[in-house]
Amino acid sequence: MMIDKFLDIIFIPNGRCPICKRVIFFSDEFICHQCKSSLDMVGDEKCKKCGKEIDDGKNYCSGCITYNYNYQEGFALYNYEGSIKTIIHNIKFSNCPELAVYMGKVLGKSMKNCSWLEELDYIIPIPLHENRFKTRGYNQSEKISNGIINEFTQMDKALDIKLCINTLIRQKDTPHQLKLSKEERFSNVKNAFKVTNKDVINEKTILLVDDVYTTGATIDECSAKLLDNGALKVYFAVLASGKTNQL
């Protein structure tokens, strides 16, 4: 017992960098400095709608030009390639809720210049179906949201944005989106979500939080459901976003 407590003091939970597996002694960091610096952050040239990195000099990516998404605007911290894939895989499938909270703090800190932050009333994490929640033991998007809120309260002008759980639920246990085409992804999440209390979100501005944005199918379906039930506006934030040329 004493040994376990000692290890909890000197090592981070799970003990190692999720990318390179180096042992990490306890600090505020959950990723070693070398691996953190290798993460591919979204550059300054990005879509003004979804926040994906683009390299053709245009204001909008091809997806946002061809499809009228229901959300207002999105923010992505990293391009979904390389080491961030390992981090997100660990968060979802290797029982690393503390890593999700840490990454949420990194995401929240990076959002400080978003022009719409002060509009927000609630953060709503993309919900898991109860079956997947039981298997995983936690909702990674909720853990990321916890980290974001923690960081928002530490800003020079603290933001009073509350976490809203169970107002939006996933009523269909949909298959994983990973191997589906863009069209199949939109079809897969159609009517998968339900608002349980309209009064909570009525005339409120919502920030949806998820781990990854690819086609935007899940974020868009949740946005539509919230707006249909009285929400004023919906924004989103994710750890990573696939580049347009990756889809």
**Banded model confidence at residue 57, pLDDT cuts 50, 70, 90:** confident
27 pLDDT band, cuts 50/70/90, is low
The more confidently predicted of residues 157 and 46 is 46
DSSP assignment of 19-49 equals TT--EEESSS-SS-HHHHHHS-B--SSB-TT
Contact (CB, 8 A) for 20 and 44: no
How many C-beta neighbours within 10 Å does residue 90 have? 18
Question: From residue 83, how far is each of 167, 207, 212 by CA, in Å?
Answer: 33, 26, 14
- DSSP code string of 108-132: HHHTTT-TTGGG--EEEEPPPPHHH
Closest CA to 195 of 217, 173, 221: 221
What does the mean pLDDT of the chain come to?
Answer: 90
DSSP SS3 for 230: coil
Mapped onto helix, strand or coil, the DSSP state of residue 90 is helix
When the candidates are 3.40.50.2020, 3.10.20.740, 3.40.190.10, 3.40.1190.20, the CATH number that belongs to 42-246 is: 3.40.50.2020
pTM to 2 decimals? 0.91
Q: Where residue 190 falls among pLDDT bands split at 50, 70, 90?
A: very high
Highest mean predicted confidence (pLDDT) among 18-22, 55-59, 154-158, 198-202: 198-202
Output the pLDDT for position 158. Answer: 79
What tokens does 201 get? 């979100």
By residue count, the chain amounts to: 247
Angle between helices 97-110 and 83-93 (to 10 degrees): 130
Counting residues of the chain whose pLDDT is more than 90, the rounded percentage is 74
Amino acid 13: pLDDT: 59
| Domain positions in the chain | 1-38, 42-246
Q: Best-predicted range by mean pLDDT among 28-37, 177-186, 198-207? A: 198-207
Q: Which of 136, 151, 130, 125 is nearest to 211 (CA)?
A: 125
**72 CB-contact burial (10 Å; exposed 0-12 / middle 13-18 / buried 19+):** middle
Whether pLDDT at 9 is above 50: no
- Given the structure tokens 């042992």, which residue do they identify? 23
User: What is the Cα–Cα distance from 18 to 96, expressed in whole angstroms?
Assistant: 9
Q: At residue 7, does pLDDT exceed 80?
A: no
Per-residue pLDDT averaged across 3-24, rounded? 65
Residues 101-154: tens digit of each pLDDT? 999 999 999 999 999 999 999 999 999 999 999 999 999 999 999 999 999 998
Q: How far is Cα 92 from Cα 227, in angstroms, rounded to an integer?
A: 28
The two beta strands, 193-195 and 205-213, are unpaired
